[in-house]
Amino acid sequence: MDTIKILFVCHGNICRSPMAEYVMKDMVHKAGLEQHFEIASAATSREEIGCGVYPPARQKLAQHGIGCKGHAARQVRRDDYDRYDYLICMDRYNLRNITRIIPTDPQNKICRLLDFTHRPGDVADPWYTGDFDATWRDVNDGCSALLTLLRQEKHL
């Protein structure tokens, strides 16, 4: 079986997308499926390149026993489209902004995280809302639904 490659995408790669990256890695680890996945995250902007996970996001992950040590924000690259099976954006603005880097999506790889749940929509940016609890719930729900779908589709 080929490795399932997932890239989570948000504006700066310091809050939502790294939260999704590390939540998904934790879920995959707990399911004993690490050998089937490659999971990373990136930004549509260049504003935070090289920065670690934003402290309140890091704290929210730590509250759930999830570490994120060593994270350094990076920007999405055009070749990420060929490398990853899924480029999962946190909101409609990320969907719009990613097209500046990856102008076409002929394989329908680009989508939003909450589109895998029963309540499709945007993961609110806690940088602006300050509500890291809501972001945690959205990220957790989205990653759980995505993993469930992939396990069914890939017979994992």
How far is Cα 40 from Cα 42, in angstroms, rounded to an integer?
A: 7
Active site residue 82: no
Active site residue 137: no
Residue from 16, 58, 91, 112 carrying the catalytic annotation: 16
Q: Determine contact, residues 120/112, Cβ cutoff 8 Å.
A: yes
Sheet holding 86-89: strands in order across? 37-43, 4-10, 86-89, 110-112
Active site residue 131: no
Residue from 26, 91, 125, 138 carrying the catalytic annotation: 125
Could you tell me where the DSSP H helices lie in the chain?
16-30, 55-63, 80-83, 92-98, 126-129, 132-154
The C-alpha angle 54, 58, 62, rounded to 5 degrees, equals 175
The C-alpha angle 106, 111, 117, rounded to 5 degrees, equals 140
- Residues annotated as catalytic are 10, 16, 125
